[in-house]
Amino acid sequence: MIMPKVVDHEEQRRRIADAAVAAIGESGLDRVRLVDVARAADATTGTLTHYFDGKDALLAAALDRVAERLLEGMERFQGCDLIEMASFALPLGEPERREWRVWLSFWGRAIWSPELAAVHNRYYERLRELLAEDVRRAQSRGEINAAVDPGDAADAVIAAVDGVGVRASLDPEGWPAPKQAELLETLLEPLLAPPTEITPRRKTR
């Protein structure tokens, strides 16, 4: 069987989009130029236009990649303790901080761009579903008060992670990993506590 010499179009797109993420993480969304992306992808700007209809499309693809990876990260921790799982979405280490920088940069653009906003909302929907599923599972195991609406709980987790993540991203020095985790716990523990006579879980860390 002869492998076609031509490159896999989709694979190339993904490769370039990843390069864009890297380039954005390097110099910021506002400052990134097409040549920066090209350089990061080991290609030329001309090549980029073969695969994307202009810069906006490329950036949208980059956002998509980030969202995809964030989601995959969450999926890996499915089944774990919910708060623990959520905390892994925080910018605890340098690689995560990097992804957060990119992710956060896109917020400011998404407000003005329906296309980017759509990517964000699609991601939030999937994440919410994923989390709600976990909540339901935990409730069936009696670990979370059954009175809590799984969707609401998921939204709460999302908001808590975003809120803590923003703060930590803007002041990385002031927010080392433990401090972030603690704040997340402070916010979510009462909500996701087991429906006992209210003995909140002991802190393990």
Residues near DNA (CB under 7 A): 5-7, 9, 12, 31-35, 43-47, 49-51, 54-56
Q: Which does residue 12 bind out of its own copies, DNA, none, counting CB within 5 to 8 angstroms by kind? A: DNA
Measured from the CB atom, the residue of 34 and 160 that comes closer to DNA is 34
Closest approach of DNA to the CB of residue 69, in Å? 23
Pick what 171 binds: its own copies, DNA, none; C-beta below 5 to 8 Å, kind-dependent: its own copies
- Among residue numbers 92 through 121, which ones bind its own copies (CB under 8 A)? 101, 104-112, 117, 120-121
42: Cβ–Cβ under 8 A, 6 or more apart, which residues? Answer: 19
193 makes contact with its own copies (CB under 8 A): yes
Binding-site partner at residue 50 among DNA, its own copies, none, CB < 5 to 8 Å by type: DNA
CB of 21 to DNA, least distance (A): 16
- Which residue in 83, 85, 131, 181 binds its own copies (CB under 8 A)? 181
- Show the tokens assigned to 49: 């236009």
- Residue 54 touches which of DNA, its own copies, none (Cβ within 5-8 Å per kind): DNA
Distance of CA 94 to the CA centre of its chain: 14
Question: What does the CA dihedral 125, 128, 130, 131 come to, rounded to 10 degrees?
Answer: 170
Q: Report the interface residues with its own copies, using CB under 8 A.
A: 27-31, 101, 104-112, 117, 120-121, 124, 152-153, 155-156, 158-164, 166-167, 169-171, 174, 178, 181-183, 185-187, 189-191, 193, 198-205
